[in-house]
A and B are shown apart, each in its own frame.
Chain A
Amino acid sequence: MDYLDQLESEAIHILREVAGQFERPALLFSGGKDSITLVHLALKAFRPGKFPFPLLHIDTGHNFQEALDFRDELANRIGERLIVRYVEDTIRIKKLKEPTGRNATRNGLQTFTLLDTIEEFEFDACIGGARRDEEKARAKERVFSVRDEFGSWDPKRQRPELWNLYNGRIHKGENVRVFPISNWTELDVWNYIQRENIALPSLYFAHERELLVRDGKLMATAGGVIKPEADDQLVTRTVRFRTVGDISCTAASESEAGTLDAVIAEIQATRISERGETRMDDQLSEAAMEDRKKGGYF
């Protein structure tokens, strides 16, 4: 059997285990390619029935409009419930201190809103599109990752996880993060998107836009999220986004790749990893992702 069929079947199996083992799951959906792939897999797992979970987006308020529009359009097209909670509201209600300064990002504050939302809806499982090839702490995490009531991951106390037997039993207040595409690589996701003809936001394909050059990275000026400083150079370039996340910490790549074929060729040839090229938040320290996961990040 072709490896994409194997990966697809494994992911569908995991999604159905969530449906079978939990009372109130949710699927974390951002409008990025990995969560769009999850939605496609959920359609395969549960149609002609409804999804046994809503889609949930934690909106930092600093997202690309294209991704938000795509998110709403997709939820609408498939007729599934979408819940959106805003980091902005958490900041206001809880009087959180927002990071300030040159490379400030709200990405870390998402965790607060996510944990509040889990509490609000009593979600016992959150399905996410994280992959083990993305980052070395993620490479260590189980498919069913049990988190305590603070959402913390404890890498030293992970449950054994054998064969395709997943243990989702938890105490009240705990929740499980579930990663159905754990074993997919970036290239697998793109090959699957092409094979299945899955639509993506236009951000993933080459387009012209205004950017500023900061620390060698091309950052979008869209939405006024990043405030230009004196030494930032404003440019117009043809770029695409290899990952789509918070505007404040997602860099663009110069590219002429306007089609799926071209994007795949580009990724096959690259010598730089996905997060290394695009995510500013992972480059703070050697253990940045591990620390965020211990703090409740997905």
Chain B
Amino acid sequence: MDLLRFITCGSVDDGKSTLIGRLLYDSKSILADQLEAIERATKGRDDGTVDLALLTDGLRSEREQGITIDVAYRYFQTPKRKFIIVDAPGHIQYTRNMVTGASNCQLAIVLIDARQGVVEQTRRHSLIASLLGIPHIVVAVNKMDLVGHSQNVFSDICIQYAELARNLNVSQVTYIPISALNGDNVVDRSTTMPWYDGLTLLDHLETIEVDEVASADAGAAGRFPVQYVIRPQTSELHDYRGYAGKITSGLFRTGDSITVLPSGETSTIDAIEIAGQHLTEATAPQSVVLHLATDVDISRGDLLVRSDGLPLTSQTVEAMLCWMDTKELRVGSKYVLQVGTARTRCSVREIVHQLNVNTYEKIEGVESLALNDLARVVLRTAQPVSFDPYQQNRATGGAILIDETSNVTVGALMLVGEA
């Protein structure tokens, strides 16, 4: 059985938590004691309804304020597929948490309130989904019950969204009219919207063809960031030297020529091991141990690649940046850059432009960035870094910035190319 990770994005009143509750409830994934717990928590409410949102808002302060602050993960399974739901906050203040949640997803559900149509939040969530390279978008037009289940309202919103999507890099958009509150077109087909002949949301999630996380880069060249060197140094395994890591994209076979980056030294693969078993080939996203035919200087932080498809290696890197710290970023500031398992110091040489998250306008002449700002930047690194453009390869094109003094992760980078 395969696994689909998807994120739900919506703002405070779009009914995001209700939708997740509905998916879990109608697919019978909520257990009796969990339901009892939320029934207890909602006892005494005037309208006597059970608030399905309480299933996902796991923190005391979230329940108090009725909003989602940080990402929560929920798990459910149908006979067809396993799902990880990444429940992300919609409020602009928590954009960095949404980015955290979106980074590993293959699909995003963008919720739109049928009464409101496309709003600022829709534009921001869609931009983030597109920057993070999420290949599939589902536009779920919610609260159809509050607009008389009108086909015209739905069609207008589809047209509005298609207009927005034209400016974004998304490969596939699917539109579904739903009512999370009543369960229309979520798991069960709606009888109130006979004009809709597409799939229900769950049918769509169960049947959509998705590349696995790592092979979202199917066809991408072999990439293997070295995490750890296994050297038992015992008498019978005196010469054993295995490079442990996870294949982040592509395929490796014994006998393949490989290049070690950033040094550029070359060798060939002598053996591939998983838990002591020898294989002739391995593919992403397997965690393996590689052995090379010759002695090469390799340690954690090096990137092994197949020599027939080399990545870029450079000390000046251009990237899209999502700034995630309350302390502002200024041109000239220094950070630690982490790409794969490699870390090097870097400084921000230039802010090429900032991106207005609502109008998608490029703003030039910006000298600093505040929390949740998106911008295109140029970095100068202390050591050469090897990477792929993010839109070609998520695993070797994604990077983070770490503040050297607080040690906190302060930026997410989608690398674009050499500057």
Residues of B within 8 A of A12 (CB): 246, 287
Is B285 within 8 A of A1, CB to CB?
yes
**Distance between B249 CB and nearest chain A CB, rounded to angstroms:** 12
Is A48 within 8 A of B237, CB to CB?
yes
Is B246 within 8 A of A44, CB to CB?
no
Residues of A within 8 A of B399 (CB): 165
Residues of A within 8 A of B100 (CB): 160-162
Residues of B within 8 A of A7 (CB): 3
Is B398 within 8 A of A163, CB to CB?
yes
Interface centre among B2, B59, B69, B212 (most CB of A within 10 A): B59
Is B212 within 8 A of A140, CB to CB?
no
Residues of B within 8 A of A49 (CB): 230-232, 242
Q: Is B258 an interface residue (CB 8 A)?
A: no
Q: Is B27 an interface residue (CB 8 A)?
A: no
Residues of B within 8 A of A160 (CB): 96-97, 99-100, 324, 400, 409, 412
Q: A165-B399, A169-B402, A270-B31 are in contact. Are A48 and B240 (CB under 8 A)?
A: yes
Is B407 within 8 A of A167, CB to CB?
yes
Q: Is A2 an interface residue (CB 8 A)?
A: yes
Q: A9-B286, A48-B237 are in contact. Are A140 and B72 (CB under 8 A)?
A: yes
Q: A12-B287, A169-B407 are in contact. Are A140 and B75 (CB under 8 A)?
A: no
Is B73 within 8 A of A167, CB to CB?
no
Is A6 within 8 A of B3, CB to CB?
yes
Is B61 within 8 A of A273, CB to CB?
no
**Distance between A164 CB and nearest chain B CB, rounded to angstroms:** 7
Complex-state Cα separation, A190 to B395, whole angstroms: 30
Complex-state Cα separation, A155 to B69, whole angstroms: 9
Q: Is B115 an interface residue (CB 8 A)?
A: no
Q: A20-B227, A160-B100, A162-B99 are in contact. Are A139 and B72 (CB under 8 A)?
A: yes
Which of B34, B59, B246, B407 is A137 in contact with, Cβ under 8 Å?
B59
Interface centre among A17, A43, A159 (most CB of B within 10 A): A159
**Distance between A49 CB and nearest chain B CB, rounded to angstroms:** 4
**Distance between B81 CB and nearest chain A CB, rounded to angstroms:** 9
**Distance between A229 CB and nearest chain B CB, rounded to angstroms:** 26
Q: Is A271 an interface residue (CB 8 A)?
A: yes
Q: Is B139 an interface residue (CB 8 A)?
A: no
Q: A140-B59, A160-B96, A160-B324 are in contact. Are A165 and B227 (CB under 8 A)?
A: no
Which of A1, A8, A136, A182 is B212 in contact with, Cβ under 8 Å?
A1
| Binary contact readout B146-184 vs A (1 if CB under 8 angstroms, 0 otherwise) | 000000000000000000000000000000000000000
Residues of A within 8 A of B230 (CB): 46, 48-49
Which of B33, B58, B276, B409 is A140 in contact with, Cβ under 8 Å?
B58
Q: Is A185 an interface residue (CB 8 A)?
A: yes
Residues of A within 8 A of B349 (CB): none
Is A271 within 8 A of B32, CB to CB?
yes
Interface contact tally, CB-CB below 8 A = 171
Is B274 within 8 A of A44, CB to CB?
yes
Q: A6-B3, A159-B409 are in contact. Are A183 and B228 (CB under 8 A)?
A: no
Q: A20-B300, A132-B75, A163-B395 are in contact. Are A140 and B240 (CB under 8 A)?
A: no
- Report the nearest B residue to A3, measured CB to CB: B3
Is A20 within 8 A of B228, CB to CB?
yes
Q: A133-B75, A165-B400 are in contact. Are A50 and B232 (CB under 8 A)?
A: yes
**Distance between A289 CB and nearest chain B CB, rounded to angstroms:** 9
Q: Is A45 an interface residue (CB 8 A)?
A: yes
Interface centre among B84, B96, B227, B240 (most CB of A within 10 A): B227
Interface residues on B, range: 35 or more
| Binary contact readout B186-224 vs A (1 if CB under 8 angstroms, 0 otherwise) | 000000000000000000000000001100000000000
Is B407 within 8 A of A16, CB to CB?
no
Residues of A within 8 A of B72 (CB): 136, 139-140
**Distance between A224 CB and nearest chain B CB, rounded to angstroms:** 30
Is B400 within 8 A of A273, CB to CB?
no
Interface centre among B31, B32, B71, B228 (most CB of A within 10 A): B228
Which of A140, A156, A270, A277 is B71 in contact with, Cβ under 8 Å?
A140
Q: Is A103 an interface residue (CB 8 A)?
A: no
Residues of B within 8 A of A50 (CB): 232
Q: Which residues of B in the span 24-79 have a Cβ within 8 Å of any Cβ on A?
A: 31-34, 37, 41, 55-61, 63, 69-75, 77
Complex-state Cα separation, A170 to B402, whole angstroms: 11
Which of A1, A52, A162 is B398 in contact with, Cβ under 8 Å?
A162
| Binary contact readout B386-419 vs A (1 if CB under 8 angstroms, 0 otherwise) | 0000000011001110100001110010000000
Q: Is A231 an interface residue (CB 8 A)?
A: no
Is B82 within 8 A of A3, CB to CB?
yes
**Distance between B79 CB and nearest chain A CB, rounded to angstroms:** 11
Is A167 within 8 A of B338, CB to CB?
yes
Q: Is A214 an interface residue (CB 8 A)?
A: no
Binding site for A on B (CB under 8 A): 1-3, 31-34, 37, 41, 55-61, 63, 69-75, 77, 82, 84, 96-97, 99-100, 103-104, 212-213, 227-228, 230-232, 237, 240, 242, 244-246, 248, 274-276, 285-287, 300, 324, 336, 338, 340-341, 394-395, 398-400, 402, 407-409, 412
Given contacts A9-B286, A16-B287, A161-B409, 11 further A-B contacts (CB under 8 A): A6-B285, A19-B228, A44-B287, A50-B232, A132-B73, A155-B70, A163-B104, A169-B402, A169-B407, A273-B31, A290-B58
15 of the cross-chain contacts (CB-CB < 8 Å) are A3-B1, A12-B246, A16-B287, A17-B341, A44-B275, A46-B228, A133-B74, A136-B55, A160-B97, A160-B324, A164-B248, A165-B338, A271-B31, A271-B32, A276-B34
Which 8 pairs from chain A and chain B are nearest by CB? A136-B58, A276-B33, A12-B287, A3-B3, A169-B407, A16-B227, A44-B275, A162-B103
